[in-house]
Amino acid sequence: MIRNFKTPLMILLCCCSVNLFAANADAADETAMQDCSESGGLNYICGLAVPEDLVIIPGTDWVVAGAYSEESNAGLNLVNAVSKNVTELYSPKAGRSRLNRNLYGACPGAPDLNNFQTHGLAIQNEVSSDERYNLYVVSHGGREAIEVFELDASSAMPQITWVGCVLMPDGLDANDVSAMRDGTILATVLMHPGFSFEDLLSGNPTGAVYKWVPGSDGFIKLEGSELPGNNGIQVSEDETEIFIAASGLSAIVTLSNSNPSRVLRRTRTMAFAPDNVVYDSNGYLLTAGMRDDEATCAGTGPPPASNCPRGSIAAYIHPETMEDRVILDTVATPDFTGATMAILPGGKEVWIGSFRSSRIAYQLLNRMD
C-alpha cells in the first residue's frame, strides 16, 4: 500500500547544494568526526571530505569517493574496500589533465582544484576495453558542470585523467549524473529557480532531467521529466528507462527514456527520502537516505533540525517490480548522519555515503533471499 506523507523540510534542505551544507555544519559534527571507532552499529572509514557519492570500479577492490566539501582540495579519493585505506585520486597532488577538444570543445579547461567540490558520480565502461572507464562527476565551486575523466584500472593502482566537461545551463546546479554507452550524459536538477521547498513538499514538479549528446552545444531539458525534487538518477541497463529518486515523493520513479513524460512505474512511498540510486552487481537498484520519522529530532524544527542526527536506511529495489527490501536500518548517532547512497563492495558489506559526515559508514550485509 502506498503511504501518503510528506518528507521533512530539513532533509531536503541539506540535499540541495554544498552552500547549504556549509551553512548548517557545526562544531559538534567536527568533534564527532575525530573519533573513528564503531558507533550506532556502524563502522567507519575516515579521512574523507564528505563522500556524498561512491562508485565501485568493477572487477577491483577500489571505490571512488567524491568530496562534497569546501575544506579539501582532493576532488576525488580512492578507497580500498579490503584495507579501507584512502588515497587521493584527483587533487593538486594526483591525477592528470588532458582536454579532449574533439569531444568537449566547449569546455574552458580543467577545473580549479582550489575551488572544486564533487557531488554525484557515475561510471561507464569504455566500449573498447574492460579495464578502462569513463567517470562522470557533478562539480560545484568554481563552476557548475559535469566533469569527465578517463579511469584506467589495468594496473595495481587505478590512474585517472581529466579529459573534459559539459557546463550546466546558466543558473542551474546539477545534483546527480548518469551516462549511456555512446557518451550521452543525463543530469538531474533538484529545483529550478523560482521554485520553493514548499512547492517540492506539496508534490509540485520543481526539477527535471537534462541531457547532453556528444557533438551538441549543451544540455537540454527532457520535457516531461519534471518531478518533485529530481535527485539521484540511473539509466537502466538496456538504456530504455531512467530511474529517478524524487525527493518530494520519497520514492524512486521510472520514466521512459524515449518519452520521459511517461511514468512507467514507481516504488511505494518509503520511510526515507531516497537520495542517490545505483545498480549493484546482481542487477538490483540500491538507494539510501535519512530516516523521515526520527524521534530524537521531534520538535526541533527547521532550519536547526538539519543538524539533528538521523538514522540511515538503505534498500534493494527490484527494477521491474519496484518492490523494495531494507538491508540497513540504523539508530541515530552523532558520528554519522546525512546518508545519501549505498554500495556493496565485495558483496559482503553495505557502504553508506553522506552529504554531511566526513566518513563512509559500513555494516555487514543482511543478504537478500
What number of residues does the chain have?
369
Q: Does residue 263 lie within any of the structural domains?
A: yes
Over residues 115-136, the mean pLDDT reads: 89
Secondary structure class of 341 (helix, strand, coil): strand
Q: Residue 62's CB: how many other CB atoms inside 10 A? A: 21
Which one is predicted more confidently, 200 or 284? 284
Residue 142's identity, in one-letter code, is: G
Q: Does residue 2 lie within any of the structural domains?
A: no
User: What single DSSP character describes residue 227?
Assistant: B
**Per-residue DSSP letters for 279-334?**
E-TTS-EEEEEEBSS-GGGTT--TTGGGGS---EEEEEE-TTT--EEEEEE---BT
**What is the total count of domains within the chain?**
1
Q: Does residue 3 lie within any of the structural domains?
A: no
Q: Does residue 180 lie within any of the structural domains?
A: yes
pLDDT in tens, 312-366: 999 999 999 999 999 999 999 999 999 999 999 999 999 999 999 999 999 998 7
Mean pLDDT rounded to a whole number for the chain: 88
pLDDT of residue 24: 36
Q: Does residue 36 lie within any of the structural domains?
A: yes
pLDDT of residue 1: 26
Q: Residue 157's CB: how many other CB atoms inside 10 A? A: 11
Which of 332, 309, 299, 353 has the alpha carbon at shortest distance from 29?
309
Is the pLDDT reported for residue 129 higher than 50? yes
- What are the grid coordinates assigned to 61, written together? 577492490
Q: Does residue 288 lie within any of the structural domains?
A: yes
Over residues 120-128, the mean pLDDT reads: 85
Range of the domain at 168: 9-364
pLDDT of residue 34: 62
Q: Could you give the count of Cα atoms lying within 13 Å of 155 in the half-sphere of its Cβ?
A: 6
CATH code, domain with 36: 2.120.10.30
